[in-house]
Structure 1
Amino acid sequence: MRRRAACARRGRCGRIARSGGRPYAAGPAPRFDRTPRPPVTTRPARSRSARPSVRGFVRRRVCWTAPALLAPALALGLATPGCEPEGADDSALVAERDAALAERDALKVRVATLEADGGGADLDPLLEALRNAGATVTEDGGVVTAVSMPATSSTNAAHLLPLLLMPELKTLTLGGPSFDDEAMAVVGKLTGLERLDISGTPVSNDGLAKLSGLTNLKVLRLKTVSVDDLTPLEGMTELRELDVRFSNVGDAAMDSVAKLPNLSALKLERSAVTDDGLQKLSAEQPLRVLDLDTGFSDPLPILAEKGYTDLRALELDRTDIYGAEGFAPLKQFKELRLLSLQEAYPYDEDLQPVLGELTNLESLNLRQTPVTNALMPTVGELTNLKTLNLAEVSAVTEPGLKELAPLTKMEDLDLWATGATDATMTEVIAGFENLTALSLQQTKVGDEGLKALADLKQLERLDLSETQVTDESVAVLKALPNLQSLTLKNTEITSEGVAELQEANPDLNIVK
């Protein structure tokens, strides 16, 4: 009955959360500005039929920025011999690029061979072009080691060409719809890569197959990528971290994951993997970080049986683990530094005999769980805790919060929608001198309680939304030397008070 009442209260019972009752999230959609640009005044607008192809743009751009790239472009089939005059109009090139992208002409990246020596190429104009398009380029001693082309930039697959002349490139981040399966053919040639993030791209199984030669990869992130076949990863024996959150990866793909001998971090949140897939992992894999989610009902015995008791971080958010028996194996994971049970179903009596064994914990997330004041004495014994999230745990009130006073190493504390009061501030929070982030949103804390912040000189982020503070607290807030972010939504602090705060600290980000 307790289980039924708990899941009914949250609108998800049994395995509904893993099917129609809670559909898999597809992740945030990339934001792109599709507002039509004003016509370029330097030349008449072209008709639709006369718009240039991406191939034509690439040829002109390559010749215009760095002739040294023409050889690789020719080898890739992205250009034909012959360059535009050296003084080609930049605005015309921009117009051609935008028109080509708007037409969504597929960039035919056909990498068969690349017979070009880029050693003598001048990369400066190429790097400038990348940065102008919104890419982030990291250099070490004049050598490019990392490039990021996020979805918020205007980069596209054509901007991958310069990377072929950067042999020391180790880290690449791509985002947005321009980086599709065909673009992966170029990425697959960057065999020196050690970290690759293509989260949020439209890459499919076909595109992932083109990355099979990246055997030096140590980190691969495929969050929200619609792949379900991980066979191309089987040769990536150096892989340490694999992120397939919000993907279509299911139990069948775990056979390939089990062949990664050095895998230490695996993130499966909102994938299609279940307990059956978890069973396929090899006991020889040195897992230290594991992120599970909906789809798992009894993963802890599996992990314990495989000997993964050296885990340092374990996320069990929204899993369907129930009862003292379900949570009992947790006490075997004594090396845990991070444990997250957000929106799971642990009750006080389920965790009381377990948490006390996890004395190395530094981060504990109990957000939106059914725990109450009864568990707080046990939490208060975890004196190594630096991060504690009790957001939306309304059953934790003033008496329970007082039990947290021994947690003097606390750096990040979230008490949103708990029963925190002014007494909590003076009797508990005032002793957390290492605190850098504090959320008191939707609590009963007022001006009197806020005086307890006076000695918290390390505080950087503070959320006072929907509290009872007024302009009387402005003096206290002004005196916090390291405060960088302050949220004051739905408070009695006036516009005059905000102006006073801003004048005292011009760099302070205030949300009102």
Structure 2
Amino acid sequence: MRNKLKLRFSLATLLIAVTAASIWLATTSKQARDQEVGVAGVESNEGVVQFETTLDVPDWLRNAVGQEYFRDETTVDFATNQGRQQRTGEPKATDANLRHLESLDSIEILELGNNSDVTDLGLAHLKSLRRLTTVYLYRTGIRGPGLVHLADLPKLEAISLSDTRLDDSGVTHLGRMTRLTWARLDNTKVTDASMSELAKATALKTLTLSNTEITDTGLMHLARLDRLDTLDVRGTGVTFDGVARLKRLLPNCQVTVTFGLGTLPQDESLFVDGYTPSSGEINAKLKELRIDGEVQTDATRPGSPIVTFRLFDSTLSNEVVLDLIEHMPDLEVLNLRRGLVGDDFVKGVGGLRNIKHLSLQATRITDDGLQYLSLLPNLKELILTETDVTDAGLAHLRSLRGVRSITLNSTRVTIGGIEGLRQSLPTCSVSW
């Protein structure tokens, strides 16, 4: 009798186990099929899918059943190659083909940057991605209304909307993202009007608002973000006093501002008028004044002329720097990263016809100053990163037929302006 009960119990247990396994297999099979269809849809548009193994099972079982039963899709990337398919040149991601993501509910990181055909309508396909932690939407067609579909995602911690037409109405949805710790809103249309809404995202630790219309008024709303430790407001309307007030309220927050904010250019010449300093004297004077800069000579040429001049984090005025380079007629490399020089300086540099490399990163150059670059016939490489250059200024660059590389990262230019510049200069590499 005991053996019969044991046998019945064993058979019942086996039946339950088989039934449970069958249900699991049926459910998992459908999920796996749906996921494979989604993966195929992504890959057909040259999107890249990365997987993570979810169950450690023997190889024989994995081979027998199929690896798709034991893995999850954790990352999908549509951004490479400027969001264009190599074989056709068509967009990788559009509102329509984002539907393939709906069955990939294990995605944690989604890269949609550089896909201008992705708009607010397409974001509706992302609302089922409950594991999503990071989404990149820079240089897309997003304006803001579609962010409502992301606002309630329970694990979303990071979002990039750089270089989009995001406006204040869209920021309202960002304020609902209670776990958001990292946000890039640089080069968008956000203003002071939405900063009170953004301040509702109280988990924020890192926030980039560079090249927006933010002023001291909006800055004060951000003081409510008591976890904020990094804030970038370069190229905005904030003032030195406004930043100082914010720092008093958020003493542990590192605030990055436009170089030289609140600083007047230094107008005192480094050498007396009429004196021509040697390369050694120039380097000695820069060291004496604790200025991060140096000149280099070419000893292989007669007279060992100065061919390179580097000047970083300098508050020297246009006139003072022009006085220095007046003694460098053979200059080929001029690197003025982070300085107070601007349009008048570029106008004055026109006499240095041997310059091949010119970096004006994080200086006060504007669209008006770019017209004078045509005075540099041998210019090959131009760096305008972190300046106030806009699409209007790019018109002046279209005549620089000899230039082979132009860098415009963190400026106010748009994708339309970049594409127009690339068409005008087909042999030039334009980075943005």
> Could you say which structure has the higher helix fraction?
2
TM-score normalised according to structure 2 size: 0.46
Q: Mark the structure with the bigger radius of gyration.
A: 2
